[in-house]
Structure 1
Amino acid sequence: MRAALLALLLAAVPAAAQVPPPPVQKIVTAVDPLTIELDDFRRLADPEIWRDLQVRRIEFREGRTFWRLYRIANTRRPDGPLWLVPHDNENAAFQAAVYAARSYGGVVMAVEEARSLAGPDSRGNGDVAAGGDVDPNRNFRPDTPDFAGAMLADLGNPARLSVALHTNDPGYDAAGSSCLPPESGEETGKGTISVLLCNDLYMPRRSIAGRWPFDDTDSVAIVSYLGERSPFSGFCARPLSDADFNIMFEHVVTSDGSASNFAVFRGLPYVNLETQERGVAPDQLGEARSRLLAMIDTVMARCAVIPRLSLDLPEPHERPRRRRGR
């Protein structure tokens, strides 16, 4: 498996550079999710949620960075997507991944910012020997094969569907967009992920009806495509468009080290789902999580052939009713 992943990692690298580094030692520990003293797990401290889910902690150092990952596998339904949560501070994304693994099976791979045991979660991993924080979602690179290999160890051959889950800053900076100004009443903000944004990297396809969850322009699927091809060459682009998704088509020419760029250069089945970061109060997490789960349901119906299982969750964790219209 590691050899296959190294081959994928090195696929887009010139032959002279294809010298794989020696493997690093990984410490893998089985853990009880109900006893993990981390915010993500404490918020889901219900035995029903974790029934049939096996959790392992994976720790290793690669180069200057120490990594702590959590692998959450559905033991009753191991076949299913690979759910990726690269950013530790995107709490609703973690919850949606756990719920999705219960519903559709498969494996969750989530990054824990290694200092979060003693401080707040963050987007980047600051447990480094030198230099600045490392963004996990810019670390799928040939020179960091152990991180990418650990995150994608369950990819399989042929590759299973991978679904990345994110929450993002609300709105977008209109100064960084080549689109027309936003319509009256539509907010701009500090984010860089919105179906209102267009530039050399992103081309938007906005939902026509704008029904929930796409009444929020920050709730989008990002579909990557290679520069010389059509945007609709991206994985599942046409079905998601037919489902009236908000879509940001990402025009990829050279890799930025993200999982989406890794996937598109290798022809892997991959979808990136994003929604607005709303906070960590239960209702705020519930709203963001529900939007991600609604998008996941459509992706699974239109882009995968895995039958849905019942969530079978206790009352406090049920999703809110969908809103009508905009």
Structure 2
Amino acid sequence: MKVFLPMPLIALYVLCAALAAPVVAQQPPPVPPGARDVVRKGAEDRCYRPRTVRDLDTRRMADVIGAGRDLCLQLRRVADGPVAWRFTIIRNRTHPDGPVWAVLHDDEDAAFEAGVHAVRRYGGAMIAVDTDEARFNGGLDPNHSFAATAGQAAPCRVRAAPAYTAEVLDMFPPGAPVLSLHSNHEGHRLTGGLGDISAAVSAGGRHGLPTGSPKGALSDPDNVVLIPGRVPYVENRAAQAAARYFDGLGINVIYERVGRSDCSLSHHVTLVRGGPYYNIEVQHGAAAVQGQIIDALMGWLGVVPVPGG
């Protein structure tokens, strides 16, 4: 026998069933694992366990990064139009006010290793571009992408990358020296080598200043401190003073006169941001030598190791 319910009772039944059903809140789109939403730039980033992230440099240095509670591993992601940029950031939570280092090429493992040790020893932070161990990010050179506007990008024939440029440079407090770490192939192409950095070669606006007090592997011509400036070396007294200091320690210097920008970090700092810039460049794999030069540069800048560093 069929039972027919009056329409008001049917409506009441449907309403009760709807109220009894669990309410599913609408969730925002998921953020990529280990990424930070750009609009949350001021938010505090979480600290990741180094063995849980995909970055191979971080996992290789996991024992150093994860030792104690001083270092905090953070992951960030920004986008310039269709181009996404990923960053690995190491901060010294105990001593956050130390120097800041930029490692722009993900295939330069010695630079990353030396940077981690520098953050532990001197405090501060390091920002490293993550491109899955490749040198370029989808055909873009991270060290030739510093252009916040179309006008800045025009001389380099690249697209402006304001988010990328800001993400890196915002790491450095106003007036603080911009410090970068690189490694390169042995020798210079002009003398039969494979690289493009050597204190034994002066070319393309770069003036090589080999040390007059060589000290073994430290003084190899491929291991240098690069200092840029807008005037010729003979007119730059600050660069000359730095070169004399490093020469006394057996460390080579390259002075680069900056004119037309190539959108590298050194050119952008010299022409746009202003302030001192130092790049420590060594042969691939020479992390220990890079650490020695870091110590020398910290001495020049008056930075002392943190307690226990």
Instruction: Tell me which interval the TM-score lies in, with the shorter structure as reference length.
Output: 0.7 to 0.9
SS of 1:147's partner is: helix
Structure 1 CA distance for aligned equivalents of residues 228 and 53 of structure 2 = 35
Mapped to 2, the partners of 1:99 and 1:93 lie a distance apart of 10
What is the Cα deviation at residue 264 of structure 1?
A: 1.9
Residue identity matched to 1:294: Q
In structure 2, the residue matched to 1:273 is: 280
1:111 is displaced (CA, Å) by 0.2
Q: Which residue of 2 aligns with 1:289?
A: 287
Is the Cα–Cα contact under 8 Å of residues 213 and 294 in structure 1 kept in the other structure? no
- Cα deviations by residue, 1:29-75 (Å, 9 ceiling, x for unpaired): 63222322322012112165463111211112103311001121111
Alignment-mate amino acid for residue 195 of structure 1: A
Partner of 2:134: 122
> What is the match of residue 165 of structure 2?
148
Distance 1:84 1:203, change over 3 A: same
Question: Which of 53, 68, 93 matches 1:36?
Answer: 53
In structure 2, the CA distance between the partners of 1:58 and 1:147, relative to structure 1 (3 Å rule), is same
* 1:197-212 pair list within 5 angstroms: 197-212=201-216
Question: Please, which of 96, 100, 105 is the counterpart of residue 82 of structure 1?
Answer: 100
In structure 2, the gaps of 5 or more residues are 1-36, 150-160
TM-score by length of 2: 0.75
Root-mean-square deviation over aligned CA pairs: 2.4
By how many angstroms is 1:82 displaced?
1.0
Cα separation, partners in 2 of 1:227 and 1:92, compared to 1, 3 Å: same
AA of the residue aligned to 1:201: G
* CA-CA distance at 1:160 after TM superposition: 1.9
Counterparts of 1:134 and 1:81, CA distance in 2 = 27
Map 1:51-62 → 2, pairs under 5 A? 51-62=69-80
C-alpha distance in 2 between matches for 1:92 and 1:49: 20
| Structure 2 residue matching 1:210: 3-state secondary structure | coil
Q: Can you list the C-alpha shifts for 1:239-272, whole angstroms capped at 9, x where unaligned?
A: 3344342111111112111111122224312210
CA distance in 1, matches of 2:144, 2:236: 22
Maintained 8 Å contact 2:95/2:306? no
One-letter amino acid matched to 2:270: V
| % same residue | 30
Q: Deviations over 1:159-183 (max 9, x none)?
A: 22322000101111226xxxxxxxx
Q: Which amino acid aligns with 1:257?
A: C
Per-residue CA distance 1:79-138 (angstroms, 9 max, x = gap):
11111100001011001001000000111000000xx2xxxx111111xxxxxx111111
Q: 3-state DSSP class of the match of 2:219?
A: coil
| CA distance 1:95–1:51, change in 2 (3 Å) | farther
SS at match of 1:214: helix
Unaligned runs of 5+ in 1: 1-22, 127-132, 176-187, 279-287, 313-326
**Which structure has the bigger radius of gyration?**
2
- Corresponding letter in the other structure for 1:194: S
Tell me the amino acid that sits aligned with residue 146 of structure 1: A
Aligned match of 1:103 in 105, 117, 121?
A: 121
CA distance in 2, matches of 1:37, 1:215: 36
State whether structure 2 residue 250 is matched by structure 1 residue 250.
Answer: no
Cα distance in 2 for partners of 1:70, 1:111 equals 6
Indicate if the aligned counterparts of 1:231 and 1:251 stay in contact, CA closer than 8 A: no
CA contact (8 A) 1:220 1:273 kept: yes
More helix, by proportion: 2
Please show how residues 42-53 of structure 1 align to structure 2 within 5 Å: 42-46=59-63, 49=67, 51-53=69-71
Number of positions where the alignment pairs a residue of Structure 1 with one of Structure 2: 255
Q: TM-score, normalised by structure 1?
A: 0.72
SS where residue 180 of structure 2 aligns? strand
Q: Match for 2:130 among 108, 112, 131? A: 112
Q: Which residue of 1 aligns with 2:156?
A: none
Describe the SS at the equivalent of 2:279: strand
Quick check: 1:33–1:50 contact (8 Å CA) kept in 2? no
The offset of 1:142, in angstroms, is: 2.4
In 1, are the aligned partners of 2:223 and 2:252 still within 8 Å (CA)?
yes
**Which residue, 185, 192, 196 being the options, matches 1:192?**
196
